[in-house]
Structures are given as structure tokens and as C-alpha cells.
């Protein structure tokens, strides 16, 4: 077999390099389109090894002992670096999240095997026509869906296209402001939402219909079982950055936040009062607690993480056994402690309206405030206003 010249070997090396670069680019582009960016490093590592393998074969470097050592050293380093991101993503994906078990479809009214609460007797209010259009926060969907099942006609109410929908708190307020719905079930509006309503000339009416606890949670393996209000303010202002400062282990605190105008972010702002909230890193800002399961909040359950939500969402809808709710000022967030006002971060939740011509809206609100409606609030898992 005729031996190739050095020039031929160089041209072949260039040709191989161009070919591998081309196919690597296609693979990388496809990976980006599929949203699997963590595999880019691995693709580059494989491309490097392929190129080296061809070069070693062309120049017969595998016959040299030193050449083999260099090749396998490069292979080990390249593959090691390439696998870092996939391993990290795999670890994060197996972490428990506060919402990982929620299936919002289980709370649709009049559906089979529904988890909705029901009254012991048929409702005294039956709305046959001109149904009030309702939207609200995910955490309150089990409540207003139960109200609908008790008072509305028996039919299908699509989660996203019917008289009864469910979305994030910001979207619910937007739908109310734009006249797409007559009423929403939500936490109190943020300052930005109040300003927007005022700018649109809308007069928001907030009718309290029940009480709920704003809760903070940590990984179950965290040594901390409770914090004071001042310690929490220190954490979310950025003054306290290590669990050791509040009696825990020596580990940095990863404090998750929610997007602006979400119900729980507004609750955090109310809790913090005049204390400024630190700016969270992008990866520590969880997405909205909305109606589509893929869009609900993703508080990754890192061992050093802390997050916040509402009690019923975490205990009634999620029932995640990998997190634990913290005592605040020595008081656990139980229904009894919400009822007797001993839990320090309990607040009312509301039906919010912005003016509507639908006369059934007031009828429905009055019914929810009646003993029947308050019985339903209790059975769903919230704390009613009426005792």
C-alpha cells in the first residue's frame, strides 16, 4: 500500500475537520431547538474525540505509547467536562418540587372522580343562565370550582375556554381589567395592579370570603423547623445568607422568589413591609402558579433552599413529603392557628370585581358568604370567615 504524503494527510485532516464541524453544528442546533442545552458540551466532547480518532488513525499515532496516553487523557477530560451539565440537570430534575404532584384537572366541576368538596344538602342557590364568568389563582381553583359544582348547571367547563377558567393571579387580574371575566378568586392585588386599575378608571371591590396562611418551606432534611419574622425578613432582604446564622448548618441560603404581581409575591411584599426585598438570581425566580401544570411554580427542593406559597396549595393540593412548612415565631401554620389568629402571617383571600352588569355576581357572592358557602370554604380546606 502506497504511503500518503504529509500534504495529503494535512488535506484529509482539514476535510475531516470540516465534515465533523458541519455535523456537530447540526446536532448542536437541533439540541438547542429541543431545549436540551445541557447536552451541548457533550456534543462538543464527542466531536473532539471523533476528530482525534481520525487524526490518530491517519498519522498512526496509536502505535506510539505516548500517543495513546495523550489520547485517553484528552478523552477523559473532554467526556468529564461534557457530562457535567447533563448530570447537574439530571440531579435538579429528580429534586422534589412544591408542585410536582398537582393535576389541576382533578378539580374540574362535574368531572368523574373529582376531588371537589360537596355540601351535605343541595345548594339553595341555583344559577341557570347568565352565568358569572370566573377566573382565579390555581390555589383557589378547588374552592371556586366547588362553588360552581354546587350552583351552576351540570356541563363541561373547560379550564381555559368556558365561563369558569383558571390561570395565574396576574392573568386573572388582567382578565378582570379587560372585561373578560366578571369576578376573580385571588389574593389582594399588588400595588402595580392597583395602579393599573386606577389608570383604567376601574373601582376594584374586594370581598373577603375566607382566610389562609402564607407559609415558608424548606427541604425536609434541613435542620431548621422554624424561623422568626425578623429572620425571614433578614433572609429575603439579603442580610442573612447562611443557614448557620439562624441556627442551621453551614450552608448558603438559596431563597426562591416568585414573579412580580403573583399572589404569593404580593404576599411576600406585604409581609416584608418597609424592608426592601433583595433581587433574586434569575434561576431562583420561580414561574407562575398557573392553570397549566407545566407552568406552575418550580421551587426546586435543594437542601439549602427556602420558598413560600399558601398553606392549602402545599398541604391540600400538593401533599409533597419532601418539604416541610416552617413555624413562624414559634407557631405552626395549622387551620386552628389561622382560626385563632395566632399564626402571624394569616390573611384573607377575596372575590375581586371591577364592575359588572351581571346581576348574578352579587347573588353568588352573597351565597358564598352565607352559611352554605362558608361550609364549602371549610370543606375545601380553607378557614371560613364565619364560625
Please write the tens of the pLDDT for every residue from 324-367: 889 999 999 998 999 888 999 888 899 999 989 899 999 999 99
Question: With contact defined as beta carbons under 8 Å apart, do 74 and 50 qualify?
Answer: no
3-state secondary structure (DSSP) of residue 29: helix
pLDDT tens digits for the chain (387 residues)? 456 777 888 888 888 899 889 988 888 888 877 767 778 888 888 888 898 888 888 888 888 888 888 888 888 888 888 788 777 666 555 444 444 445 778 889 998 878 899 998 999 999 999 999 999 988 899 999 999 999 999 999 998 899 999 987 889 999 999 999 999 999 889 888 999 999 999 999 999 999 988 889 888 888 899 999 999 999 999 999 899 999 988 888 888 877 776 777 788 888 888 888 887 655 555 544 322 112 222 344 467 888 888 887 767 665 666 778 899 999 999 989 998 889 998 888 999 999 898 999 999 999 999 999 999 999 998 999 866
Q: Is the pTM of this model over 0.85?
A: no
Can you tell me the distance from the alpha carbon of 246 to that of 13, in angstroms, rounded to the nearest whole number?
60
3-state secondary structure (DSSP) of residue 186: strand
Can you tell me the distance from the alpha carbon of 217 to that of 151, in angstroms, rounded to the nearest whole number?
35
Tell me the pairing of strands 383-384 and 305-310: unpaired
Beta strand residue intervals within the chain, DSSP E: 134-136, 183-186, 205-219, 226-227, 254-255, 305-310, 323-325, 327-328, 346-353, 383-384
Can you tell me the distance from the alpha carbon of 86 to that of 122, in angstroms, rounded to the nearest whole number?
54
Amino acid at each position: 500500500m502506497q504511503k500518503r504524503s504529509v500534504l495529503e494527510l494535512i488535506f484529509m485532516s482539514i476535510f475531516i475537520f470540516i465534515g465533523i464541524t458541519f455535523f456537530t453544528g447540526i446536532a448542536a442546533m437541533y439540541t438547542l431547538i429541543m431545549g436540551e442545552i445541557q447536552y451541548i458540551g457533550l456534543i462538543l466532547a464527542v466531536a473532539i474525540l471523533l476528530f482525534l480518532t481520525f487524526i490518530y488513525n491517519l498519522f498512526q499515532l496509536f502505535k506510539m505509547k505516548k500517543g495513546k496516553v495523550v489520547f485517553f487523557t484528552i478523552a477523559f477530560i473532554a467526556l468529564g467536562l461534557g457530562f457535567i451539565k447533563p448530570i447537574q440537570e439530571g440531579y435538579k430534575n429528580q429534586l422534589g418540587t412544591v408542585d410536582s404532584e398537582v393535576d389541576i384537572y382533578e378539580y374540574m366541576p362535574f368531572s368523574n372522580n373529582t376531588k371537589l368538596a360537596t355540601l351535605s344538602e343541595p345548594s339553595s342557590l341555583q344559577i341557570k343562565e347568565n352565568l358569572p364568568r370566573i377566573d382565579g389563582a390555581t390555589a383557589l381553583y378547588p374552592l371556586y370550582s366547588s362553588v360552581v359544582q354546587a350552583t351552576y348547571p351540570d356541563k363541561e367547563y373547560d379550564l381555559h375556554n368556558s365561563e369558569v377558567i383558571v390561570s395565574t393571579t396576574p392573568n386573572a387580574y388582567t382578565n378582570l381589567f379587560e372585561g373578560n371575566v366578571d369576578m376573580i378568586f385571588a389574593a389582594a392585588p399588588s400595588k402595580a395592579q392597583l395602579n393599573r386599575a386606577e389608570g383604567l378608571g376601574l373601582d376594584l371591590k374586594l370581598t373577603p370570603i375566607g382566610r389562609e396562611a402564607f407559609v415558608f418551606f424548606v427541604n425536609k432534611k434541613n435542620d431548621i423547623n422554624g424561623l422568626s419574622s425578623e429572620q425571614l425578613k433578614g433572609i429575603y432582604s439579603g442580610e442573612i445568607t447562611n443557614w448557620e446564622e439562624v441556627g442551621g448548618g453551614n450552608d448558603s441560603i438559596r431563597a426562591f422568589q416568585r414573579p412580580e404581581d403573583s399572589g404569593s409575591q404580593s404576599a411576600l411584599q406585604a409581609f416584608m413591609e418597609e424592608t426592601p426585598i433583595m433581587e433574586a438570581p434569575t434561576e431562583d425566580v420561580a414561574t407562575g402558579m398557573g392553570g397549566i401544570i407545566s407552568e406552575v411554580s418550580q421551587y426546586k427542593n435543594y437542601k439549602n433552599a427556602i420558598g413560600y406559597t399558601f398553606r392549602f396549595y402545599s398541604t391540600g393540593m400538593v401533599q409533597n413529603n419532601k418539604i416541610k412548612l416552617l413555624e413562624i415565631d414559634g407557631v405552626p401554620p395549622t387551620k386552628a392557628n389561622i382560626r385563632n389568629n395566632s399564626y402571624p402571617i394569616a390573611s384573607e383571600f377575596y372575590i375581586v370585581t371591577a364592575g359588572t352588569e351581571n346581576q348574578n355576581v352579587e347573588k353568588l357572592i352573597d351565597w358564598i358568604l352565607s352559611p352554605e358557602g362558608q361550609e364549602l370554604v371549610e370543606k375545601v380546606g380553607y378557614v371560613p370567615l364565619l364560625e
